[in-house]
Each structure stands twice: as C-alpha cells, then as structure tokens.
C-alpha cells in the first residue's frame, strides 16, 4: 500500500503533548476555539481585550533548544516581513512558562482556496500570481520560507493568499540557519530535492514548493509517492516528475511548462526568481492588463489635446519620454480619438524586413513581389497616399523599430500634420514636427485614483504619496503597482471603480521592506511590458548586465541605497574606485537601467530590478546593509531597516530612540509609536534588553504628547512586559495614573499622582507635574490654583532642562478656568512659541483659539485655528486637525453665519476616536442645520449629542441637548418640562442657564413665569454685549425670546424671532 505523503507529514507533527490552556494570556488575550495544532504548538482564536479585536494566538509547546530557535526565527521573520500577504505579527510574550505569538486572524482555506471540485488555471491564476508577488517580496527581504505548503498559505474569499508559519525560514537577516548536515527540516510532501538530502536551501526551494502546490491543485495529486518517509524522500531527490500535461491535459501549455521547470531536480534549472515565474505564468495576458484598461487616463487630457491641436494645425508630432511614461498608451488613445472623429488611422508595426512595418495596414506586398525596388517604392507610396486620403494619419509606435525602408517611404510620402511618431529625442525632427515630451506623473495626478476622505484622514493623498514613492510617477509602473495592490488586497475597488485603501494597509506598506528595495519594482527585467520597445530595451539592458558584473553590482547598490543613491555614496559603500562607479553609472544610464532623478539633481533612480543580488550569500547581503547603515546619519529614512536587515541589533535600540524623537518632534505620533514598538519586539526577541529602557522612555514621551487613552493603554501593556528596572517600575506606575486621568479624572486621581515619587530626571518629572496639573482641573478651583503654583515653582528651578513652555501651558489652562480669557490667550501663545515639539505646540495653539472664542475675539480665534489646522494636516495629526476644524466651524456659528451643515465632517468625526469631540461637532452642525430649516437632521444630531454627553457623564451638555432634541421633536408634557427647568435652575453659569431654560420653553406646552424670571435675572448679571452672542446652540437673547413666545408649531428657522426692545432685559 502506498503511503499518502500528507499522512506522513501529519504523522511527523502528531507527537503532541496536552498543554495547559490559560483562560487569558498575559492578562490581555482571552482564548477561544482551537484553530489548529502542529509540532510547535496550538493556535487559538483569541480576543484582544485591549485592541478590541479577534486575533490568532499561537501558544508554543515547551521544547528543546531547536524549538526555541524556531520561535526566534519565526518572530524575526515576521518582524522583518511587514508585508501585505504575510501574516502580521502583533505581539509576542510569555505566559505561565510558555511562549506565545499573537498574529492577525486570517480567515481562509488552504491553498488553492475553497473550490468545489478541481479548479482550472482560469480560476487559479489570480491567486497563484498573487502568491508569487508575496514570495518575491519575502525573498527580496533576504528571507527563504523553506516550509511552503497548502496549510501555510491561506486563501480568503477574494482569492488573496496570506503566508503563515516562518518557523523554518532562513536568511542572515533573521539569524543563522537551523539546518545541520544530513538533517531534514520541513514538511516531506513539499520538500525540494536539496532539502530531502539535508542540503542548504535557497529561494529556489520555495519555488519548488510552489511548483508542487500548483501541480497538486491542477492535477489533483502530488508527483511523488512512497511507502514510507524514506522512500518518499528518495523519490523526491532522484526521480524527475511526470510532466504536468500528461496527468492534466487541460492545463495551458505555457503554465504546464513553467510548473515542470519549477520541479527540476537541479535548482540551477529552475526559474531564477518568483518574479520570473510570475511573468512566465502571466503569458500574453498578464493580470495587470485588466487594471490597465480600468485605470483612468492619468494626468488628464492635456497632452492628448496638445497632439490633436498640432495635427489640426497641419504639424506632425514626435512624442518623446522615458520608459514607462505612457508614450504607447498616449498613441493608442490618440488613434482611438481620431478614429472616433472620422479620420483614417494607419498604425505601423515593428519590423526588420524591408516594408514589413506596412503589413499591418494592408500594404499589397504580394502584388509587388516581382517589381524592382524603385517600382515597389512607387507602388507602396501610391498605396499609402490612397490609404491616407484627405485627412488620414499614420501612427508609428517605436519609430526606431520600424524597418528602415518603411521609415524612408513614410517621411517622403506623408504630408505634414499626418504623422505621429513615438521616438527617442535623437530621432525627433523639430523642423518638421512638434515635439511633445511626456514627464512622470506628479503625486497630485495620482490622487484621483483613490476613494475616501481627503479631510482629516487624508487617505487618497497618503495612498497617492506611497504609490508615487514606489513608481516615481511612471504611468506604466503605476498601472503595474496598482494591479499588485489589488492582487495583494492592499486596495479594493469601490462601486465607482476608484481604489480604496485603509490606513492600516498603508501603515503596513510603510513599515514593510522599503519601496526602493529589490522585489518591489513595478518595472523589472522579468516583468511583462505593454510596449514592444520596452521589451527590447529591457532585453538589451539585461544582456548588458549579464555581460558586465560591475554593472550589475553597481545597479544593486543603487537599488539598495534608494533615495540616498548618489555617485560618491555608491562608491563608498561598494568599495569600487570612483572612476569605475562613474563609468558604470554612465553605462547604466545609456542602457536604460538607471536614470538621473530630475527632481533631485545628483540622485540616481533604478529602472530595472538587478539580477546580481540573487547569488549573493546571506553574509554578503548582511554586510551590504551594514555598510549602508554605517554611511547614513542616525534617524535617516531607511537606516532603521538596514540595521535590522544586517543583524546589528545592538544598534537598533539607539536608532529607534533617535527616530522616535525625530518623529515625535515632527508631530508624527502614530508612526513614532509604531517604530518604538517595532524596536521593542526586536530587542526582546534577540535579548538585547539594555536599550529597552530608553525605547520605553521615548514611547512614554509619545504617549504623553498624544494623551489618548488607547495609546496610554498600549504603552502600559508594553511596560508591564519589560524587564524590571527601578526607572521602568516608576514609569509603569506613572502611565497607570495617566490612564486613570484619561478615563475619569477627579480628585482621586490627583491624590494617586501626588503619591508617586518624583523622577530624578527633570525631562521625566515634567510629565508627572503636567499630569498633576491636568488632574487638578477636576478639583475645586482653589486646589487647581495651588497645584499650578507648585508646579510652576518647580519648573522655574529647572528651566534650563525643560524650558518655559510647560509652565505657560499650565497657567493658560488655569486662566481659562478663572475666565481670564485674554490672559489665557497670552499664556498659550507663549507656550506655543517656546515648545519645539509639534504636538504640544498644536495643543497650545488650539487652547489659545478656544480662549479667544470665549473672549469674543472670534476672527482672531478663527485665524489661529486655521493655522493649527494646516500644521496638523501636514503632520497627519488627526485629532488636532479635527479639533481645529471643529473650532473653525464653531467660530463661524458664533459669528452668526448660517452655513449649510458640514455633513462630511459629521460622517468622519467618529473615526477620529475622541467621543467628546464628536459630540461638539454634532452640536455645532445640528445648529447650522436648524437655522437652515433642516429640522429632521438637526433633531437627529441633537439626539446623538445628548446620548454621547450622557455616556461621557457631562451633565450640562447632556441636559441642553436633551431639551433641544425635545424642542425639535415631540416636545415635553408640562411635568417633564418643569422637571428639566428645575435641573437647569441649579446651573451657576448664566449663559447655560438661559440657553437651557429657553430650549425647555420651546419644548413645553406652556411657559412657567418662574422660568422667565430666573432667566431674566441671570441676564442682568451678563454684559449687555453678550446677549446676542450665540452659545453652543442659541444666544441668551434667543433663549429669552423663547421664554416669552413659548413652543413654536414649526421649530425651524422661523423659531428665531427678532426680539422687540420691550422683551429685552434691562441693562444691569
């Protein structure tokens, strides 16, 4: 009986020991159902109680040193491979003596996915190509998986694959290989022959496994069988596979050929890369071609219109531009537009034989076969003239590839204004034709591709920025990269055909292998191009690279350096003589492999993916990354990645601290926290804990600048997992107190903070003092005044270390509470001017704007809020931008502008994640809606705001919005109205009292004269110039009017009467 290779694989992993299952791991992850078991542990569906999402938690079985090494490798690989299509590592730690890994929960079926019956290539193609895209990026990062099999490739309902289980992965960037001579690692059914012999495996072993999976998916069986494990491995290592078409005749020939080559016994006979396999499988109709057709014409119609205008004016056109700039696409669109306008369009072909380029337009080549050359030329000239008629046009894509005889005939025969050529700059004829040069697309040109809000979240702009960074704006590269994003699930199309990219997907792209590294090119020597000349140029370049190893090596270094690629630095890192580097760069430019970046003089941009890196050893790759990191200054873009990829973990902590500080200084807090947390995962994995403390101090600075509860809770979790030191113990207690202040505040939290010991470093103690002041805002005013005085006295003694900004900020908040608004404005302005960090500066600016609103300096407030909004948008600080946007709307409302409600802001605001701010927006936009007569919308927003205010425990906003919603809705009965009026009577703020009683009157069947008396008395205590000033909902004058007029039948715009002088309260 022949053994099932799958059964053999399962048997190897079946020696399972029952492990104790904790109800909750690390106090954070509540375990649920078992998703799978294997040799290294058990995978559970778990609930992340902090992140509030489902995750996959892998609880690892205690084992020998090799098991621990496997865990380290898996963590290292997942940490490095922050790539779409690779399962994301979210956390790792230890619980009750067992290690665990937390990963994103991937819903899907093992490769090839959930199919009924045997899938054909048509169903399998998109998933297979997407898998190869992912694998190319994994290999580009220097990682070989070495255990690819269907269960390690989950395919979701959209056909998108995700790679799992990197426990056997190899690569210098993640540590030395676990393989020892003669030891077989991996799942036998999917091992490459070299793995069966226990030999070292490179990326071609992964490609062999892909071949096996494709063979099995298309034929229904694996190519090798054996009675036992030993026999299976012998067959795998010695017997060629049966050609796929013999067992599955329906498979397309080109696909079967690729699969057969993937399964070659000799690794050297297999394709060289995943990109090469993908290109070969795509054949003549690559998966990106449908996307090429679906994408709108990028950059607008200006160039197309210019071509048409020149032709209409009787001038021919020469189109020039770099590879991938869309020359051929422009020519196709121009031809289609001319044909639709009724003009005859003749398209020349590429050819080598005389007049071969005329075959595509029906030239009578057979009829002239017996003529001499002059007669043949005359006959073809006559044919061409007749075919063109009075207004025909000849289009020649790749003019230099048109045969010489056709070129001469066309130039001699075609009249001016009837020829459009795509050619090189050297082939243009400015005296005869208008030269139209195509340039790369700008980032702004790419924004219309994307759906989603540009306000606050900035998703279209940020997606366009990332797309431009990966393509340089070359249209062909853009098309291919968009197709890759769609295949990998980074983007999806909305109903209008635009691309939708979520913030999380963008963050993963930016933390992944940098865009400029090998494997991320949209144009490469292996890619399928849409233009025949592109193929020709790529082939010429590839041949030149193969014939000159120095060229290929310099191209590798230019590629690795990315945005830092300049000739002197290339020479420094690759240790070649400068003259040789200069010569190689000139040659690379000549063959189209590199170009000078026109936007940045002196910078080099690779246009072709290098082949030279493939045979580099792991040690050489690591050395290359080390050399680049050594030449980049701390905090420079890409240096962190190069240090990680080189294995220089002892330097990762220091680099992370510098990078986090740079990002925090610029106000990019989300990215700063992500970098710091990434560094912690690395440092803990490689047990370099000396720098852990400094990274956590840097992250505490980020969290204090951000101050959102979710960020503080994430920091508290990281501190709880850290190796214990006195400073970290103190930080942990401080962050726990910060969480309590963010949750509730109150005098209890003030006492908690004051019980904390002082930090020895002033740069840390200022955080404790700031938290003290913040907690004191919930205490009686006298207590806050005392706390601020003490904090400012401390700050005065440490001004050299902390500056003056904190004290100004504390005083500004206090002056606001004391209703000394202009003094608050001055203090906050001083704080903003003195703080070099963007986030505190933004906070101070917005606090100043709020104080200006209360001081009735609305126009000044609006100007400050607009300045803050622009700065927040630049650094992508969503909360501050949203707060500034609301302040601008509030200023407009208080200036008595009756704008339409900002429905886009209403729809977006909850995504900011600050419930209090959402409530303020709903109140303001509800006010605008009411005054525009849109009572149903105003009523809905008032109810939303009331519910949110109750949830937040905000008494007066909740009561005001409840009364407002009642006034806009069914109203109160008299008892309900009386009860609400009694509550408002307890308010000591005259404006809120009048506003609340006015809204109650608008909702009540009848107005109690006592309510009117209370409001009139309160109005006497207000300055007369404040009576007409709108508050959050209505002005005091409007409140008094409602108390005199009572409930209106239609509480819309007509409910705002002009007060008669007799109804106004007497001046105090």
Any idea which residues carry the catalytic annotation?
A: 147
Q: How far is CA 468 from CA 505, 522, 564, 734, in A?
A: 16, 11, 17, 42
Answer yes or no: are the C-beta atoms of 832 and 845 closer than 8 Å.
Answer: yes
Answer yes or no: are the C-beta atoms of 124 and 225 closer than 8 Å.
Answer: no
Q: Give the largest Cα separation in the chain, rounded.
A: 115
Please name the residues in contact with 833: beta carbons below 8 A apart, sequence gap of 6 or more: none
Whole-angstrom distance, CA of residue 1026 vs CA of residue 689: 60
Name which of 1031, 805, 824, 835 is nearest 923 in CA terms.
1031
Angle at 521 between CA 448 and CA 436, to 5 degrees: 55
Q: Phi/psi at 196 (nearest 5 deg)? A: -60, -30
Cis peptide leading into 423, omega within 30 of 0?
no
User: Edge-to-edge, what's the strand order for the sheet holding 41-48?
Assistant: 24-25, 29-38, 41-48, 53-60, 98-104, 89-95
Whole-angstrom distance, CA of residue 696 vs CA of residue 673: 10
Answer yes or no: are the C-beta atoms of 805 and 790 closer than 8 Å.
Answer: no
Whole-angstrom distance, CA of residue 940 vs CA of residue 889: 19
Name which of 414, 390, 392, 391 is nearest 402 in CA terms.
414
Q: Is 789 helix (H, G, I), strand (E, B) or coil?
A: helix
Whole-angstrom distance, CA of residue 665 vs CA of residue 842: 12
Express the helix, strand and coil content of the chain in percent, nearest 5 each: 60, 10, 35
Answer yes or no: are the C-beta atoms of 857 and 849 closer than 8 Å.
Answer: no
Q: What is the dihedral of CA 1025, 1029, 1035, 1036, to 10 degrees?
A: -20
**H or E stretch at 104:** strand 98-104
Dihedral (CA of 578, 584, 590, 594) sign: negative
Name the token pair of 766.
């200022």
Please name the residues in contact with 114: beta carbons below 8 A apart, sequence gap of 6 or more: 155, 157
Radius of gyration of the chain (CA): 35
Whole-angstrom distance, CA of residue 500 vs CA of residue 935: 34
Name the token pair of 300.
């607008």
Q: Please state at what angle helix 649-665 crosses helix 692-706, rounded to 10 degrees.
A: 20
DSSP labels, 886-939 = HHHHHHHHHTT--PPP-HHHHHHGGGG--HHHHHHHHHHHHHHHHHTT-HHHHH
Q: Is 171 helix (H, G, I), strand (E, B) or coil?
A: coil
Whole-angstrom distance, CA of residue 47 vs CA of residue 53: 6
Angle at 289 between CA 286 and CA 295, to 5 degrees: 155
Whole-angstrom distance, CA of residue 608 vs CA of residue 130: 21
Q: Phi/psi at 1050 (nearest 5 deg)? A: -125, 95
The CB density around residue 479, as the number of other CB atoms within 10 Å, is: 24
């Amino acid at each position: 009986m022949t053994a099932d290779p799958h059964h053999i694989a399962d048997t190897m992993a079946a020696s399972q020991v029952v492990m104790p299952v904790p109800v909750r791991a690390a106090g954070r992850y509540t375990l649920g159902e078992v998703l799978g078991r294997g040799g290294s542990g058990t995978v559970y569906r778990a609930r992340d109680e902090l992140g509030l999402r489902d995750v996959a938690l892998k609880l690892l079985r205690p084992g020998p040193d090799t098991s621990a090494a496997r865990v380290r490798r898996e963590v290292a690989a997942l940490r490095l491979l922050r790539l779409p299509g690779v399962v994301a590592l979210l956390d790792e730690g230890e619980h009750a003596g067992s290690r665990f890994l937390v990963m994103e929960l991937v819903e899907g079926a093992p490769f090839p996915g959930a199919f009924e019956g045997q899938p054909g290539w048509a169903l399998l193609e998109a998933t297979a190509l997407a898998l190869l895209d992912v694998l190319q990026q994994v290999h580009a990062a220097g990682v070989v998986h070495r255990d690819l099999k269907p269960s390690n490739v989950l395919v979701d309902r959209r056909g998108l694959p995700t790679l799992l289980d990197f426990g056997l992965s190899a690569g210098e960037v993640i540590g030395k290989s676990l393989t020892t001579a003669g030891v077989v690692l991996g799942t036998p059914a999917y091992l490459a022959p070299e793995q069966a012999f226990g030999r070292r495996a490179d990326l071609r072993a992964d490609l062999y496994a892909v071949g096996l999976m494709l063979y099995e998916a298309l034929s229904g069986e694996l190519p090798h069988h054996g009675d036992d494990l030993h026999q299976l491995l012998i067959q795998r290592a010695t017997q060629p596979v049966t050609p796929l078409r013999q067992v599955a005749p329906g498979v397309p020939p080109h696909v079967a050929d690729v699969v057969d080559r993937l399964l070659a016994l000799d690794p050297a006979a297999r394709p060289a890369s995943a990109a090469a396999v993908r290109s070969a499988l795509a054949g003549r109709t690559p998966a990106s071609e449908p996307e090429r057709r679906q994408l709108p014409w990028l950059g607008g119609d200006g160039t197309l219109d210019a071509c048409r205008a020149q032709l209409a004016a009787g001038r021919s056109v020469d189109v020039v531009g770099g590879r991938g700039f869309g020359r051929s696409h422009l020519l196709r669109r121009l031809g289609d537009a001319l044909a639709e306008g009724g003009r005859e369009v003749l398209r020349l072909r590429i050819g080598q034989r005389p007049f071969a380029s005329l075959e595509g337009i029906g030239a009578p080549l057979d009829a002239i076969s017996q003529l001499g050359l002059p007669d043949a030329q005359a006959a073809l000239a006559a044919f061409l003239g007749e075919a063109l008629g009075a207004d025909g046009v000849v289009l020649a894509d790749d003019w230099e590839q048109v045969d010489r005889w056709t070129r001469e005939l066309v130039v001699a025969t075609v009249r001016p204004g009837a020829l459009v050529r795509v050619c090189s700059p050297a082939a243009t004829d400015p005296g005869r034709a208008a030269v139209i040069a195509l340039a790369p697309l700008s980032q702004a040109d790419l924004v219309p591709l994307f759906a989603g809000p540009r306000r606050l979240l900035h998703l279209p702009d940020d997606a366009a920025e990332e797309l431009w960074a990966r393509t340089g704006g070359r249209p062909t590269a853009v098309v291919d990269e968009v197709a890759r994003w769609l295949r990998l699930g980074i983007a999806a199309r909305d109903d209008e055909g635009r691309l939708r990219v979520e913030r999380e997907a963008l963050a993963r792209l930016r933390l992944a292998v940098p865009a400029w590294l090998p494997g991320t090119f949209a144009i490469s020597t292996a890619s399928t191009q849409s233009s025949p000349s592109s193929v020709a140029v790529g082939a010429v370049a590839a041949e030149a690279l193969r014939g000159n190893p120095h060229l290929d090596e310099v191209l590798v270094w230019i590629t690795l350096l990315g945005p830092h690629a300049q000739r002197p630095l290339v020479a420094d890192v690759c240790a070649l003589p400068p003259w040789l580097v200069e010569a190689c760069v000139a040659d690379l430019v000549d063959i189209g492999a590199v170009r000078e970046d026109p936007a940045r003089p002196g910078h080099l941009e690779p246009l072709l993916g290098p082949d030279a890196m493939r045979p580099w050893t792991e040690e050489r790759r690591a050395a290359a990354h080390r050399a680049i990191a050594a030449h980049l200054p701390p905090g420079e873009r890409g240096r962190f990645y190069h240090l990680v990829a080189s294995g220089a973990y002892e330097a990762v902590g220091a680099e992370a601290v510098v990078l986090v500080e740079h990002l925090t200084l610029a106000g990019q807090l989300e990215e700063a926290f992500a970098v710091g947390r990434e560094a912690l995962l690395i440092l803990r994995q490689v047990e370099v804990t000396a720098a852990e403390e400094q990274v956590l101090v840097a992250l505490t600075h980020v969290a204090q600048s951000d101050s959102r509860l979710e960020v503080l809770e994430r920091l508290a979790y990281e501190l709880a997992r850290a190796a214990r030191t006195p400073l970290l113990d103190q930080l942990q207690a401080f962050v726990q107190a910060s969480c309590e202040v963010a949750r509730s505040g109150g005098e209890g939290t003030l006492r908690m903070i004051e019980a904390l010991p002082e930090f020895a470093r002033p740069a840390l103690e200022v955080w404790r003092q700031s938290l003290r002041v913040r907690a004191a805002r919930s205490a009686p005013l006298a207590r806050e005044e005392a706390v601020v005085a003490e904090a400012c006295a401390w700050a005065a003694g440490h001004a050299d270390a902390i500056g003056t900004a904190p004290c100004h900020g504390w005083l500004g908040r206090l002056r606001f509470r004391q209703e000394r608004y202009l003094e608050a404005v001055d203090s906050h302005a001083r704080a903003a001017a003195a703080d070099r960090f963007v986030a505190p500066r933004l906070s101070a600016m917005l606090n100043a704007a709020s104080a200006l609103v209360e001081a009735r300096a609305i126009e000044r407030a609006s100007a400050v809020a607009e300045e803050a909004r622009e700065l927040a948008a630049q650094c992508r600080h969503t909360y501050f931008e949203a707060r500034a946007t609301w302040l601008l709307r509030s200023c407009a409302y208080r200036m008595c502008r009756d704008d339409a409600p900002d429905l886009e802001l209403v729809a977006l605001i909850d995504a900011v994640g600050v419930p209090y701010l959402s409530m303020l927006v709903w109140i303001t936009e509800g006010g605008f809606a009411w005054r525009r007569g849109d009572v149903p919308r105003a009523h809905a927003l008032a109810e939303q705001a009331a519910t949110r205010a109750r949830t937040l425990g905000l008494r007066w906003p909740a009561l005001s919005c409840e009364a407002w919603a009642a006034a806009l809705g069914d109203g109160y009965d008299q008892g309900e109205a009386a009860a609400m009026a009694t509550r408002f009577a307890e308010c000591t703020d005259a404006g809120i009292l009048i506003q609340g009683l006015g809204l109650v009157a608008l909702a009540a069947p009848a107005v109690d004269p006592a309510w009117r008396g209370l409001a009139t008395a309160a109005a006497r205590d207000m300055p007369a110039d404040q009576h007409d000033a709108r508050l959050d909902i209505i002005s005091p004058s409007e409140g008094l009017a409602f108390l005199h007029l009572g409930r209106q039948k239609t509480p819309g715009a007509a409910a705002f009467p002009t007060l008669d002088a007799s109804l106004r309260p007497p001046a105090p």
